Amino acid sequence: MAPEGLSFSTADSSVAPEISLLFSQAIAYSLGTAKPVVPDSQFVDKLRRRLDAPGTVVVVGKRGDTCVACCFGQPLRLADGQVSEVEAHLSLVAVAPSYWGQGYGTVLMQFAEESFEVAGYIRAQLHVLQANTRARNLYERCGWSFLGAGEPHEDGPQVVYGKQFAAGPQPSEGSAIGAC
């Protein structure tokens, strides 16, 4: 059940400025750095291209007209370079810091998983910084399984989580890990 006043929906690339700012503010808050007040235009352009890619599912959570939670999933690029038609890669998971600890992340993940299933995905993976224990705890509470080490990232080591949405084998530690 969503917290009172919070509604979720799927969206398109028109939300790129909103979700890029939300994500940037959440990252800045978690790192203790200055919070941006306008979206970075280069990040918005890059994000818009990603959101326009075929098979992408964009999820936003709003309180009134304000975006307070977001994420998106798109076809997972497998280790061999092929793009999966049934596996998604979950990216840009963010909740406005003023709503942390109030269940928004859990409801965001639930709505995203349901939206991915509707889009035909049966499982998904995500990469998260190893040191981001807040996010890792959320993913584990939501039933995501640790799969192993991720690819190098400029902000530090990453780990990969996976989750099965539909009937089929559960991802397990050491299973094939796709790339972002």
Overall pTM surpassing 0.85 (yes/no): yes
Question: Following DSSP, what letter does each residue of 84-111 receive, concatenated?
Answer: EEEEEEEEEEEE-GGGTTTTHHHHHHHH
Give the list of residues 6+ apart from residue 169 with CB closer than 8 angstroms, or none. Answer: none
What is the CATH number for 96?
Answer: 3.40.630.30
Residue 40 falls inside a structural domain: yes
Instruction: State what percent of residues in the chain have pLDDT above 90.
Output: 71
Residue 112 falls inside a structural domain: yes
pLDDT of residue 147: 96
Average pLDDT of the residues of the chain: 89
Which residue segment(s) compose the domain that 103 sits in? 6-122
Is residue 168 over pLDDT 60? no
Q: What is the distance between the alpha carbons of residues 50 and 102, in angstroms, rounded to a whole number? A: 29
Residue 176 falls inside a structural domain: no
Q: Poorest-confidence range of 46-60, 134-148, 162-176?
A: 162-176
Residue 54 falls inside a structural domain: yes
Residue-level length of the chain: 180
Contact 148, 128 (CB under 8 A): no
Q: What is the distance between the alpha carbons of residues 96 and 166, in angstroms, rounded to a whole number? A: 30
Is residue 166 over pLDDT 80? no
Q: Is 55 exposed, middle or buried (0-12, 13-18, 19+ CB in 10 A)?
A: middle
Q: Which of 136, 138, 148 is nearest to 174 (CA)?
A: 148
Q: Is 100 exposed, middle or buried (0-12, 13-18, 19+ CB in 10 A)?
A: middle
Residue 166 falls inside a structural domain: no
Number of domains in the chain: 1
Residue 68 falls inside a structural domain: yes
**What's the token pair of residue 111?**
């709505």
Q: What is the distance between the alpha carbons of residues 180 and 178, in angstroms, rounded to a whole number? A: 7
Residue 91 falls inside a structural domain: yes
Residue 141 falls inside a structural domain: no
Task: Encode pLDDT of 66-115 as tens digits.
Answer: 999 999 999 999 888 899 999 999 999 999 999 999 999 999 999 999 99
